[in-house]
Amino acid sequence: MKFTAGQIAALISGSIEGNPDVVVSNVSRIEEGQPETLSFLANPKYTPYIYTTLSSIVIVNNDFVPDQPVTATLIRVEDAYSAFAKLLEVYQQFQSVKTGVSSLAFVGSETALGDDVYVGEFAFVGEKCQIGDGVKIYPQSYIGDQCTIGDGTIVYPGAKLYAGTQVGKGCILHAGCVIGSDGFGFAPQQDQQYKKVPQTGIVILEDYVEIGANTTIDRATLGSTLIRKGVKLDNLIQIAHNVEIGENTVMAAQTGVSGSTKIGSNCMFGGQVGLAGHITIANGVKLAAQSGIGSSVKDADAILMGSPAIPIGDYKRASVHFKRLDQMAKKIQELETKLNSLTKSE
Protein backbone atom coordinates (compact mmCIF):
# COMPACT_ATOMS: atom_id res chain seq x y z
CA MET A 1 0.00 0.00 0.00
CA LYS A 2 1.29 3.45 -0.92
CA PHE A 3 0.92 6.77 0.90
CA THR A 4 1.80 10.32 -0.08
CA ALA A 5 3.59 12.80 2.13
CA GLY A 6 0.37 14.75 2.35
CA GLN A 7 -1.58 11.75 3.64
CA ILE A 8 1.09 10.92 6.20
CA ALA A 9 1.32 14.52 7.42
CA ALA A 10 -2.44 14.63 7.91
CA LEU A 11 -2.31 11.42 9.96
CA ILE A 12 0.38 12.69 12.36
CA SER A 13 -0.54 16.41 12.31
CA GLY A 14 2.75 17.39 10.66
CA SER A 15 3.83 20.15 8.31
CA ILE A 16 5.51 19.37 4.98
CA GLU A 17 8.73 20.77 3.56
CA GLY A 18 9.18 19.52 0.02
CA ASN A 19 6.96 17.59 -2.36
CA PRO A 20 3.58 16.72 -0.77
CA ASP A 21 2.86 14.21 -3.56
CA VAL A 22 5.96 12.06 -3.09
CA VAL A 23 4.95 8.42 -2.49
CA VAL A 24 6.28 5.78 -0.07
CA SER A 25 5.38 2.11 0.21
CA ASN A 26 7.67 0.93 3.01
CA VAL A 27 9.72 2.11 5.99
CA SER A 28 13.48 2.06 6.60
CA ARG A 29 16.17 3.23 8.98
CA ILE A 30 17.54 6.61 7.98
CA GLU A 31 21.09 5.27 7.56
CA GLU A 32 19.81 2.53 5.23
CA GLY A 33 17.12 4.53 3.45
CA GLN A 34 15.96 3.59 -0.04
CA PRO A 35 13.69 5.40 -2.54
CA GLU A 36 9.97 5.17 -1.76
CA THR A 37 10.62 4.51 1.94
CA LEU A 38 9.83 6.53 5.05
CA SER A 39 12.39 7.21 7.81
CA PHE A 40 12.59 9.38 10.90
CA LEU A 41 15.24 11.43 12.72
CA ALA A 42 14.93 11.71 16.50
CA ASN A 43 18.42 10.99 17.87
CA PRO A 44 20.89 13.84 17.09
CA LYS A 45 23.75 11.39 16.48
CA TYR A 46 21.98 10.24 13.30
CA THR A 47 21.72 13.78 11.91
CA PRO A 48 24.53 13.32 9.32
CA TYR A 49 22.49 10.60 7.60
CA ILE A 50 19.68 12.99 6.70
CA TYR A 51 21.95 14.62 4.12
CA THR A 52 22.84 11.32 2.42
CA THR A 53 19.78 9.11 2.92
CA LEU A 54 17.86 7.91 -0.12
CA SER A 55 14.59 7.81 1.84
CA SER A 56 11.85 9.75 0.07
CA ILE A 57 10.30 11.10 3.29
CA VAL A 58 11.88 11.77 6.69
CA ILE A 59 9.94 12.72 9.82
CA VAL A 60 11.85 15.27 11.93
CA ASN A 61 11.25 17.34 15.06
CA ASN A 62 9.97 20.88 14.65
CA ASP A 63 13.26 22.31 15.96
CA PHE A 64 15.45 20.53 13.39
CA VAL A 65 17.56 23.08 11.44
CA PRO A 66 19.51 21.61 8.48
CA ASP A 67 22.96 23.03 7.75
CA GLN A 68 23.17 21.34 4.32
CA PRO A 69 20.66 20.72 1.51
CA VAL A 70 18.24 17.84 2.17
CA THR A 71 16.83 15.95 -0.82
CA ALA A 72 14.10 14.09 1.09
CA THR A 73 10.72 15.59 1.77
CA LEU A 74 10.52 16.50 5.46
CA ILE A 75 7.48 16.19 7.70
CA ARG A 76 7.92 18.29 10.85
CA VAL A 77 6.18 17.18 14.08
CA GLU A 78 6.45 17.84 17.79
CA ASP A 79 7.97 14.41 18.53
CA ALA A 80 9.41 12.49 15.57
CA TYR A 81 9.84 9.22 17.46
CA SER A 82 6.24 9.13 18.72
CA ALA A 83 4.90 10.09 15.29
CA PHE A 84 6.87 7.33 13.60
CA ALA A 85 5.63 4.82 16.20
CA LYS A 86 2.05 5.84 15.41
CA LEU A 87 2.65 5.25 11.71
CA LEU A 88 4.18 1.83 12.38
CA GLU A 89 1.09 0.92 14.37
CA VAL A 90 -1.13 1.86 11.43
CA TYR A 91 1.17 -0.03 9.05
CA GLN A 92 1.00 -3.13 11.26
CA GLN A 93 -2.78 -2.98 11.33
CA PHE A 94 -2.89 -3.05 7.55
CA GLN A 95 -0.54 -6.04 7.53
CA SER A 96 -2.55 -8.14 10.01
CA VAL A 97 -6.19 -7.85 9.02
CA LYS A 98 -7.42 -11.37 9.80
CA THR A 99 -10.90 -12.53 10.76
CA GLY A 100 -12.77 -15.80 10.99
CA VAL A 101 -12.39 -19.11 12.80
CA SER A 102 -10.31 -21.73 11.02
CA SER A 103 -11.95 -25.10 10.44
CA LEU A 104 -8.81 -26.57 12.05
CA ALA A 105 -9.28 -24.61 15.30
CA PHE A 106 -11.19 -25.83 18.35
CA VAL A 107 -13.66 -23.61 20.23
CA GLY A 108 -15.29 -25.08 23.32
CA SER A 109 -18.95 -25.08 24.27
CA GLU A 110 -20.54 -21.98 25.85
CA THR A 111 -17.63 -19.86 24.62
CA ALA A 112 -18.70 -16.44 23.31
CA LEU A 113 -16.76 -14.94 20.39
CA GLY A 114 -17.08 -11.23 19.66
CA ASP A 115 -17.27 -9.58 16.25
CA ASP A 116 -14.35 -9.78 13.80
CA VAL A 117 -12.49 -12.38 15.85
CA TYR A 118 -9.69 -14.44 14.29
CA VAL A 119 -8.84 -17.94 15.52
CA GLY A 120 -6.04 -19.59 13.54
CA GLU A 121 -5.23 -23.18 12.67
CA PHE A 122 -4.77 -25.59 15.59
CA ALA A 123 -5.59 -22.93 18.17
CA PHE A 124 -7.53 -24.23 21.18
CA VAL A 125 -10.14 -22.12 22.98
CA GLY A 126 -11.67 -23.86 25.97
CA GLU A 127 -15.15 -23.88 27.44
CA LYS A 128 -17.04 -20.88 28.84
CA CYS A 129 -14.53 -18.32 27.57
CA GLN A 130 -15.38 -14.71 26.75
CA ILE A 131 -13.50 -13.44 23.69
CA GLY A 132 -13.98 -9.74 22.85
CA ASP A 133 -14.39 -7.95 19.54
CA GLY A 134 -11.43 -7.90 17.19
CA VAL A 135 -9.38 -10.39 19.19
CA LYS A 136 -6.75 -12.28 17.18
CA ILE A 137 -5.73 -15.75 18.37
CA TYR A 138 -2.95 -17.05 16.15
CA PRO A 139 -2.24 -20.70 15.30
CA GLN A 140 -1.25 -23.19 18.01
CA SER A 141 -2.27 -20.91 20.87
CA TYR A 142 -3.97 -22.39 23.94
CA ILE A 143 -6.75 -20.58 25.79
CA GLY A 144 -7.93 -22.56 28.83
CA ASP A 145 -11.45 -22.84 30.18
CA GLN A 146 -13.20 -19.76 31.55
CA CYS A 147 -10.62 -17.29 30.26
CA THR A 148 -11.65 -13.77 29.31
CA ILE A 149 -9.89 -11.70 26.63
CA GLY A 150 -10.78 -8.05 26.04
CA ASP A 151 -11.42 -6.26 22.76
CA GLY A 152 -8.54 -5.91 20.32
CA THR A 153 -6.09 -8.14 22.16
CA ILE A 154 -3.60 -10.17 20.10
CA VAL A 155 -2.47 -13.66 21.15
CA TYR A 156 0.49 -14.69 19.00
CA PRO A 157 1.39 -18.28 18.00
CA GLY A 158 2.09 -20.73 20.78
CA ALA A 159 1.02 -18.49 23.66
CA LYS A 160 -0.59 -20.37 26.56
CA LEU A 161 -3.28 -19.06 28.90
CA TYR A 162 -4.19 -21.38 31.75
CA ALA A 163 -7.78 -21.69 32.93
CA GLY A 164 -9.36 -18.60 34.48
CA THR A 165 -6.83 -16.10 33.14
CA GLN A 166 -8.27 -12.60 32.64
CA VAL A 167 -6.80 -10.39 29.91
CA GLY A 168 -7.91 -6.81 29.28
CA LYS A 169 -8.39 -4.94 26.04
CA GLY A 170 -5.61 -3.93 23.67
CA CYS A 171 -3.08 -6.38 25.10
CA ILE A 172 -0.33 -8.14 23.12
CA LEU A 173 0.81 -11.62 24.17
CA HIS A 174 3.86 -12.71 22.19
CA ALA A 175 4.79 -16.20 21.03
CA GLY A 176 5.53 -18.77 23.69
CA CYS A 177 4.49 -16.74 26.72
CA VAL A 178 2.79 -18.72 29.50
CA ILE A 179 0.19 -16.95 31.61
CA GLY A 180 -1.21 -18.70 34.67
CA SER A 181 1.17 -21.61 35.24
CA ASP A 182 1.55 -22.83 38.84
CA GLY A 183 3.46 -20.69 41.29
CA PHE A 184 6.58 -22.22 42.83
CA GLY A 185 5.00 -23.28 46.09
CA PHE A 186 6.33 -26.28 48.04
CA ALA A 187 6.14 -27.04 51.76
CA PRO A 188 9.20 -28.78 53.28
CA GLN A 189 8.41 -32.04 55.07
CA GLN A 190 10.10 -33.82 57.96
CA ASP A 191 11.51 -36.43 55.61
CA GLN A 192 13.30 -33.63 53.70
CA GLN A 193 10.94 -33.93 50.76
CA TYR A 194 8.65 -31.19 49.50
CA LYS A 195 4.88 -31.24 49.29
CA LYS A 196 3.34 -29.21 46.47
CA VAL A 197 1.04 -26.40 47.64
CA PRO A 198 -1.95 -26.18 45.27
CA GLN A 199 -2.04 -22.91 43.34
CA THR A 200 -5.71 -22.02 43.13
CA GLY A 201 -5.58 -18.36 42.07
CA ILE A 202 -5.47 -16.68 38.67
CA VAL A 203 -3.56 -14.08 36.67
CA ILE A 204 -5.15 -10.75 35.74
CA LEU A 205 -3.70 -8.59 32.98
CA GLU A 206 -5.33 -5.18 32.80
CA ASP A 207 -5.71 -3.14 29.59
CA TYR A 208 -2.84 -2.41 27.16
CA VAL A 209 -0.37 -4.82 28.73
CA GLU A 210 2.32 -6.34 26.49
CA ILE A 211 4.01 -9.63 27.40
CA GLY A 212 7.20 -10.65 25.58
CA ALA A 213 8.05 -13.98 23.98
CA ASN A 214 8.65 -16.86 26.42
CA THR A 215 7.85 -14.73 29.44
CA THR A 216 6.06 -16.58 32.25
CA ILE A 217 3.58 -15.23 34.80
CA ASP A 218 2.56 -17.60 37.59
CA ARG A 219 -0.98 -17.88 38.95
CA ALA A 220 -1.51 -16.89 42.57
CA THR A 221 -1.60 -19.39 45.40
CA LEU A 222 -4.78 -17.59 46.49
CA GLY A 223 -6.32 -14.53 44.87
CA SER A 224 -4.55 -13.13 41.81
CA THR A 225 -1.20 -12.21 40.31
CA LEU A 226 -1.96 -8.72 39.02
CA ILE A 227 -0.33 -6.90 36.09
CA ARG A 228 -1.84 -3.43 35.91
CA LYS A 229 -2.70 -1.22 32.98
CA GLY A 230 0.04 -0.31 30.51
CA VAL A 231 2.76 -2.64 31.87
CA LYS A 232 5.32 -3.77 29.26
CA LEU A 233 7.35 -6.92 29.90
CA ASP A 234 10.22 -7.94 27.62
CA ASN A 235 11.10 -11.49 26.55
CA LEU A 236 12.22 -14.19 29.00
CA ILE A 237 10.92 -12.62 32.20
CA GLN A 238 9.70 -14.59 35.23
CA ILE A 239 6.90 -13.15 37.38
CA ALA A 240 6.14 -15.34 40.39
CA HIS A 241 2.86 -15.98 42.19
CA ASN A 242 0.92 -13.17 43.91
CA VAL A 243 3.16 -10.46 42.45
CA GLU A 244 1.57 -7.09 41.69
CA ILE A 245 3.09 -4.75 39.08
CA GLY A 246 1.87 -1.15 38.98
CA GLU A 247 0.66 0.82 35.97
CA ASN A 248 3.06 1.65 33.13
CA THR A 249 6.02 -0.17 34.64
CA VAL A 250 8.49 -1.61 32.11
CA MET A 251 10.99 -4.46 32.52
CA ALA A 252 13.79 -5.62 30.22
CA ALA A 253 14.66 -9.23 29.40
CA GLN A 254 15.60 -11.88 31.97
CA THR A 255 14.27 -9.96 34.95
CA GLY A 256 12.96 -12.18 37.75
CA VAL A 257 10.44 -11.15 40.40
CA SER A 258 9.92 -13.44 43.38
CA GLY A 259 6.60 -14.24 44.97
CA SER A 260 4.31 -11.69 46.66
CA THR A 261 6.47 -8.71 45.74
CA LYS A 262 4.57 -5.47 45.07
CA ILE A 263 6.00 -3.10 42.45
CA GLY A 264 4.81 0.47 42.04
CA SER A 265 3.76 2.36 38.95
CA ASN A 266 6.06 3.92 36.32
CA CYS A 267 9.08 1.85 37.36
CA MET A 268 11.85 0.91 34.90
CA PHE A 269 13.97 -2.25 35.31
CA GLY A 270 17.00 -3.08 33.16
CA GLY A 271 17.88 -6.58 31.98
CA GLN A 272 18.62 -9.40 34.44
CA VAL A 273 17.33 -7.55 37.49
CA GLY A 274 16.47 -9.88 40.38
CA LEU A 275 14.00 -9.11 43.17
CA ALA A 276 13.53 -11.07 46.40
CA GLY A 277 10.07 -12.07 47.53
CA HIS A 278 7.65 -10.28 49.89
CA ILE A 279 9.13 -6.81 49.34
CA THR A 280 7.71 -3.55 47.97
CA ILE A 281 9.15 -1.20 45.35
CA ALA A 282 8.00 2.44 45.40
CA ASN A 283 6.61 4.30 42.40
CA GLY A 284 9.04 5.51 39.75
CA VAL A 285 12.01 3.41 40.87
CA LYS A 286 14.67 2.71 38.24
CA LEU A 287 16.92 -0.36 38.54
CA ALA A 288 20.02 -0.68 36.36
CA ALA A 289 20.78 -3.95 34.58
CA GLN A 290 21.79 -6.89 36.81
CA SER A 291 20.74 -5.12 39.99
CA GLY A 292 19.95 -7.38 42.92
CA ILE A 293 17.16 -6.19 45.24
CA GLY A 294 16.96 -8.01 48.56
CA SER A 295 14.82 -5.57 50.55
CA SER A 296 12.08 -3.02 49.98
CA VAL A 297 12.81 0.23 48.14
CA LYS A 298 10.72 2.84 49.94
CA ASP A 299 11.90 6.05 48.23
CA ALA A 300 9.93 6.99 45.13
CA ASP A 301 11.96 7.70 41.97
CA ALA A 302 15.11 6.14 43.44
CA ILE A 303 17.77 4.99 40.95
CA LEU A 304 19.73 1.95 42.09
CA MET A 305 22.55 -0.17 40.68
CA GLY A 306 24.63 -3.17 41.71
CA SER A 307 24.06 -6.34 43.72
CA PRO A 308 23.13 -5.71 46.42
CA ALA A 309 21.80 -2.53 44.84
CA ILE A 310 22.80 0.90 46.17
CA PRO A 311 22.07 4.42 44.90
CA ILE A 312 23.56 4.78 41.44
CA GLY A 313 25.76 7.74 42.41
CA ASP A 314 27.35 5.73 45.23
CA TYR A 315 27.84 2.77 42.89
CA LYS A 316 29.59 4.87 40.23
CA ARG A 317 31.93 6.44 42.77
CA ALA A 318 32.76 3.02 44.21
CA SER A 319 33.29 1.52 40.77
CA VAL A 320 36.24 3.85 40.23
CA HIS A 321 38.08 1.77 42.82
CA PHE A 322 36.90 -1.69 41.75
CA LYS A 323 39.56 -2.13 39.06
CA ARG A 324 42.26 -1.03 41.50
CA LEU A 325 41.43 -3.52 44.24
CA ASP A 326 44.40 -5.76 43.36
CA GLN A 327 46.82 -2.83 43.58
CA MET A 328 45.25 -1.69 46.84
CA ALA A 329 45.56 -5.19 48.30
CA LYS A 330 49.27 -5.31 47.38
CA LYS A 331 49.89 -1.93 49.02
CA ILE A 332 48.14 -3.08 52.17
CA GLN A 333 50.30 -6.20 52.24
CA GLU A 334 53.45 -4.06 51.81
CA LEU A 335 52.35 -1.76 54.64
CA GLU A 336 51.65 -4.76 56.88
CA THR A 337 55.11 -6.16 56.13
CA LYS A 338 56.77 -2.83 56.97
CA LEU A 339 54.68 -2.44 60.11
CA ASN A 340 55.62 -5.95 61.28
CA SER A 341 59.33 -5.27 60.65
CA LEU A 342 59.13 -2.00 62.62
CA THR A 343 57.35 -3.76 65.47
CA LYS A 344 60.04 -6.47 65.62
CA SER A 345 62.87 -3.92 65.59
CA GLU A 346 61.45 -2.32 68.71
Determine the structural domain holding residue 341 and report its residue range. Answer: 315-345
157 and 266 housed in the same domain: yes
Q: pLDDT, tens digit, for every residue of 191-221? A: 999 999 999 999 999 999 999 999 999 999 9
Cis previous bond, 308, omega within 30: yes
283 and 321 housed in the same domain: no
Q: Which of 95, 126, 154 is the last residue of a domain?
A: 95
72 and 128 housed in the same domain: no
321 tagged catalytic:
no
68 and 110 housed in the same domain: no
Cα 243 to Cα 227: distance, rounded to the nearest angstrom: 8
Q: Which pLDDT value is given to residue 95? A: 65
Q: pLDDT, tens digit, for every residue of 219-250? A: 999 999 999 999 999 999 999 999 999 999 99
CATH of the domain at 289: 2.160.10.10
Q: What is the mean pLDDT of the chain?
A: 95
321 and 290 housed in the same domain: no
Q: Which pLDDT value is given to residue 12? A: 95
Q: What share of the chain is helix, strand, coil (3-state, %, to 5)?
A: 20, 30, 50
> What is the total count of domains within the chain?
3
Pick the catalytic residue: 174, 241, 278, 321? Answer: 241
62 and 206 housed in the same domain: no
Q: Which of 51, 74, 95 is the last residue of a domain?
A: 95
Residue 263 near residue 249 (C-beta atoms within 8 A): yes
229 and 309 housed in the same domain: yes
113 and 257 housed in the same domain: yes
pLDDT < 50 positions in the chain: none
118 and 215 housed in the same domain: yes
Q: Which residues pair with 125 in a beta bridge?
A: 107, 143
Which long-range contacts (C-beta less than 8 Å, at least 24 apart) are formed by 298-307? 300/264, 307/274
187 and 327 housed in the same domain: no
59 and 135 housed in the same domain: no
CATH of the domain at 39: 3.40.1390.10
Q: pLDDT, tens digit, for every residue of 71-99? A: 999 999 999 999 999 998 887 777 667 88
169 and 197 housed in the same domain: yes
